[in-house]
Structure 1
């Protein structure tokens, strides 16, 4: 594949576009727009729930269109408009509409980049390319965190929103440097282009996805993984804040950075999945999560909790990188790769959103230790399911 550098920049810059806005919205609304916490929570929750429901339709659109570059360009343009709208007019109707659009775009960027990668990658290239995609995405996250912190401190919090259109322009240059003719759109939706030419016909009905046993198993372990994983950092941050008053921001930032740094080598390790196999790496990812929950249930010191975030980098880094690769194995020949990615995205959102209520109730009822133990137990169930039921999906020709 001759467009590797373009994909590297695309993933790096898209991380900047996405990451340059989301974490700052609630802080901006609270400190600059003088919103109360209840209104902020209601607006962000409502928009998030709408966004979850749109992931599957987004995947179907990505499967159907041959204008995948245009989806990226239109998406970053829409995100820029949303960022500027929030900065210029932070009223409830404007912010709600902008946040719904941003939540919907959450189901567009990563799947479209994955589809383009699939359409550009030849035999034996996909695992290494997906690993590089995630590694550059994580580097972008770290870069934008540093840049946004510097701009927000030196200029103003409002100035952070202007980074989004700046990076959107650079992202547009990166995606347009990949010619449309270089993307095999049949392969990008999970079809074998040669077989499709020999036996033309419509892709499999998308309801048929629900009959694919490996897909159903992947969906089951995905919702368990995200249910167990989503609240862990928030609970660990609360635990740190209670035991180290006045150092909350620094310790939470340290925990996030450690996890992001650990993710990068894990993403590159997935590049060897054609040699190591998919399942051993999946087992390692699902082993790291209950181990992290058990550590957090007993550890009180900041050093232990921050060090435990290495396990987050291992678990999330491996699973997030493996997911599009395993899906491409499972959906090979179906023509519904992106629809399946949308369904999995919805499942991730449901698992992650619902677990916060469960974890909060556990903390109130029995304390942090037992809450982490419960999350570790759910993660252990996912591990058992992966070990006993999930097949090795590596193609024979990989």
Structure 2
């Protein structure tokens, strides 16, 4: 969407020498040493808002759609939902490498969003098992590019020191977008048909592609965007094998895997419970779950940025998110009441709101000066995707064989294991608050 026109301005001068210096960007400057323009920052805000409904496709609504409209069994639904997770998992590392090397990140975001919209259309138009699975695979593969590309643009535009404030703002807009999309999806599903939820994703995909064109290509420092230490210390990326030898990388990836193994299937299971026990209001209740959780996530994402700026480390913040999951799983096992389900889902607003911000910041900490920031984003998403796939497949068959309470308790146990593993093996990556002390100036520099 316009990258080709601005290609010459999109490329910062390259350096061939590699530096392990630990310099930082200017606190009031963007990635290329100047304050980002209002237009580029508005573009980032708009993309993160609109992509909220695109990068996850129809999410838990697919479970309700296949259960209520197509009358699929829980096991088959789990396989269909896992198809997007598996495809995303396979594509995460290539997506990270692609974003690291590409100077057309805006185009990557636009094309990926449009492919997600195409996948949603195919699901609506298809009635067989395998066409739906194939469409889900397309959706998952395309969505793999979106999160690392947005994170890379953010880092390349505002710089490393301002990244915590920028990611906090990104996540606030992302959850606000999910809030609006869930409200529209609930209304469309109730008063039109479930098919319109899929059409809504297509509309958001087109709008997000247009929004990406607002970002000025000459304001993106691609060295910073891939994890270079500063615009003046350019280096060749370290070998991929060396990345896994850095302290905390493997523990972080395992934690992300376990987090989503215990988390991913909870809301889809809750949607299936509502579809079976309260037919007719399942879509509205599920939308209420998402709307309420997203409202909480907006506040939590905003708060996490401020908490990091105050000097609190990454590890205790992440631990809060991990501690919430087992509680949520146990509570879900005891109720089928729509009001109770919505209330319990508020806990997801806290956990997911924290994870969305802190995972990107930890990935940035772990890859400082390596040139592998987006590869790390891809590896993180790979761990998330594998965990999500295991959650829906294993959990789906446990539910089919033993019932929903057993499925929720299994997920709660896995989440508890994630918390224990994290406490024992994950080091603190913040190294004090030096990277987060941007203050009011930092916040102002990341806003239009």
TM-score per shorter chain, which class?
Answer: 0.7 to 0.9
Match of 1:255 in 2: 289
The alignment status of 1:291 with 2:327, answered yes or no, reads yes
- What stretches of structure 1 of length at least 5 have no aligned partner? none
Counterpart Cα distance in 1 of 2:398 and 2:361:
35
Query: Paired residue for 1:379, among 398, 415, 438?
Result: 415
1:210 equivalent in structure 2: 244
Q: Does 1:269 align with 2:303?
A: yes
Contact 1:274 1:394 in 2 (8 A): no
Q: Distance in 2 between matches of 1:299 and 1:140?
A: 29
Which residue does 2:22 correspond to in 1?
A: none
Cα distance in 2 for partners of 1:235, 1:267 equals: 25
Alignment of 1:1-398 (within 5 A): 1-2=36-37, 3-18=40-55, 21=58, 45-46=82-83, 48-83=85-120, 98-151=135-188, 161-164=198-201, 166-194=203-231, 196-197=233-234, 200=235, 202-240=236-274, 244=278, 247-272=281-306, 273-275=308-310, 276-299=312-335, 301-363=337-399, 368-396=404-432, 397-398=434-435
Alpha-carbon distance in structure 2 between the residues aligned to 1:46 and 1:336? 27
Partners of 1:41 and 1:369 in 2: how far apart? Answer: 16
Q: Distance in 2 between matches of 1:358 and 1:42?
A: 10
CA distance in structure 1 between the partners assigned to 2:98 and 2:297 by the alignment:
30
Conservation of the 8 A alpha-carbon contact between 1:184 and 1:193: no
Q: Please give the root-mean-square deviation of Cα atoms over the aligned residues, in Å.
A: 3.3
Query: How far did 1:323 drift?
Result: 0.6
TM-score by length of 2: 0.76
Deviation at residue 162 of structure 1 after TM alignment: 4.7
> Per-residue deviation at 1:286?
1.1
The structure-2 alpha-carbon separation of the partners of 1:386 and 1:104, relative to structure 1 and needing over 3 Å to count, comes to: same
| CA–CA separation in structure 2 for the residues paired with 1:4 and 1:192 | 22
Instruction: Give 3-state SS (helix, strand or coil) of 2:227's partner.
Output: coil
Task: Report how far residue 180 of structure 1 moved.
Answer: 0.9
CA distance in structure 2 between the partners assigned to 1:368 and 1:156 by the alignment? 27
- 1: CA distance, partners of 2:381 / 2:230: 26
2:270 & 2:125 partners in 1: Cα distance?
35
For the Cα contact (< 8 Å) 2:274–2:282, is it kept in 1?
A: yes
Q: Which runs of 5+ in 2 are unaligned?
A: 1-35, 436-448
SS in 2 for 1:196: coil
Displacement of 1:166: 3.9
The 1-side partners of 2:130 and 2:409 are apart by: 41
Q: Which moved more, 1:149-158 or 1:5-14?
A: 149-158
Q: Which structure exhibits the higher relative contact order, with contacts defined as CA atoms closer than 8 Å and separated by 6 or more residues?
A: 2
| 1:384/1:148 CA distance change after superposition, 3 Å | closer
> 1:220-261 CA deviation, whole Å, 9 max, x = no partner?
111111111122223444555566566544433333332222
Q: 1:5 Cα deviation (Å)?
A: 2.4
Larger helix proportion of the pair: 1
Partner Cα distance (1:304, 1:26) in 2: 20
Matched residue SS, 2:54: helix
Change (3 A) 1:208 1:17: same
Looking at structure 1, the residues matched to 283 and 189 of structure 2 have their Cα atoms a distance apart, in angstroms, of: 15
